[in-house]
Amino acid sequence: MKKSIIKKLFIKLSKILGYEIIDQSDFSSPTLQKELNKDLSIINEKSIVLPLGEVKITKKVNSILIIFRTNTDVEIWDQNKKRLFEKPKIEYSLRALKSLIKSINFSKTKYPNIKFKTIVVDDKSKEENLDKLKKLINGSGLDISITHLNHDKYKDIIKRQKNDQTFSNLASLLQSFELGKEQGEDLVFFVEDDYLHFEPMIEEMIASYERIASQVNKDIFMCPADYPYLYMNNEKTNILIGNKRHWRTINQSLCTFMTTKFLLEKYWGNFYNNCLDRHDPFEKHLNEIYTKEFCISPLKSLSLHLTNVNSSYGLSPFIDYKKLWDENKITDA
């Protein structure tokens, strides 16, 4: 009886002082009133990963602006190859959007106080394809709007390209960056329409951002995919602990990544210059940023880049590609 009273007082005092208690005898946290195999972290407050303990959150996420670029006609930009499963491009755009919607809804349930907003930047989709995208959007219950790529706006800004596809890709990217800079408030997530996402993707991105950015005490860049090309140069990397998986530092990315409005403004010259011409690599000016700032990708992947099976920029290892593809089938579009 006496021990029970002392234990209750100790738990109460620990809560007041902001400490958490781990009781390994019954695999629980009395202060959090959770079993240890549950999510012990509290968004915007603390990140708890056993056995590493607690990280106080100083980089709190209040909102995320997602900018989703679509081109439902070009099969694979700048290539004659076919994608995995060899379907028309609209099929990839629709499944990508569906998986993104599922991930946003999953995250909204976990983090109801975070503001989610999505803008679709569409590049001249046929009306029938646009109707299919709108049907998915209208049934999502989310704050999603569509804006159309303004080609004329960028004709005197972007260097003349060998073909219209390259110009459109650069213009779409620049319009997306401009929207992020103008309308972003906190996190800004640039997403292309040939990625399938696991449902917890955005939840893990947000929670891992808070934990890792708080630990390094600076804003960071994050990619949702674990690309094969990252393993080809045998470069040294640092392994970090995120919310529910490991992350690694990288010095290259493609054009699907998350960052903050602060970093977007700080390195606006790099973002802008990357869109003025086709570079080698395409992301040349973005990659320059990663010599100064943290960029990380997950182990294992949270998203799947649906390129050709032989592409080093595509399929992440150790994923059931077919299962993820089938889970995002469009049944009535």
Based on the fold, state whether residues 30 and 67 are members of the same structural domain. no
Based on the fold, state whether residues 135 and 237 are members of the same structural domain. yes
Can you tell me which residue has the tokens 């590049």? 123
> Is the residue at 45 inside a domain?
no
Phi, psi of 57, rounded to the nearest 5 degrees: -85, 115
Based on the fold, state whether residues 78 and 21 are members of the same structural domain. no
**What's the total number of domains in the chain?**
2
Rounded mean pLDDT, 65-79? 86
Whether pLDDT at 135 is above 80: yes
Residue 260's SS3 state is: strand
The neighbouring-strand residues paired with 146 are: 120
Can you tell me which residue has the tokens 């993707």? 201
Based on the fold, state whether residues 10 and 114 are members of the same structural domain. no
CA 304, CA 319: separation in Å to the nearest integer? 8
Q: Report the pLDDT value the prediction gives residue 77, as an integer from 0 to 100.
A: 66
Which has more pLDDT, 314 or 322?
Answer: 322
Q: Report the pLDDT value the prediction gives residue 14, as an integer from 0 to 100.
A: 65
Sequence-separated contacts (24+) of 85-89 with Cβ below 8 Å: 85/306, 85/325
Rounded mean pLDDT, 263-284? 97
Say which amino acid occupies 24: Q
> Is the residue at 48 inside a domain?
no
CA 177, CA 193: separation in Å to the nearest integer? 16
**Average pLDDT of the residues of the chain:** 92
> Is the residue at 83 inside a domain?
yes
Phi, psi of 116, rounded to the nearest 5 degrees: -115, 130
> Is the residue at 44 inside a domain?
no
Tokens, residue 108: 């909204």
Local confidence band at 2 (pLDDT 50, 70, 90 cut-offs) = low
Q: Report the pLDDT value the prediction gives residue 1, as an integer from 0 to 100.
A: 58
Q: Report the pLDDT value the prediction gives residue 6, as an integer from 0 to 100.
A: 64
> Is the residue at 154 inside a domain?
yes
CA 28, CA 41: separation in Å to the nearest integer? 14
Rounded mean pLDDT, 110-120? 97
pLDDT digits (tens, 9 = 90+) for 200-238: 999 999 999 999 999 999 999 999 999 998 888 888 999
Task: Dihedral sign for Cα 32, 37, 42, 47, please.
Answer: positive
- pTM beyond 0.85: the answer is yes
Based on the fold, state whether residues 11 and 110 are members of the same structural domain. no
Domain range enclosing 105: 63-327
* DSSP-assigned letter for residue 240: E
Local confidence band at 3 (pLDDT 50, 70, 90 cut-offs) = low
Based on the fold, state whether residues 28 and 144 are members of the same structural domain. no
> Is the residue at 55 inside a domain?
no
Q: What is the domain-level CATH number for residue 301?
A: 3.90.550.10
> Is the residue at 94 inside a domain?
yes
| H helix or E strand, kind and range, residue 138 | helix 127-138
Based on the fold, state whether residues 130 and 23 are members of the same structural domain. no
> Is the residue at 53 inside a domain?
no
Based on the fold, state whether residues 34 and 87 are members of the same structural domain. no
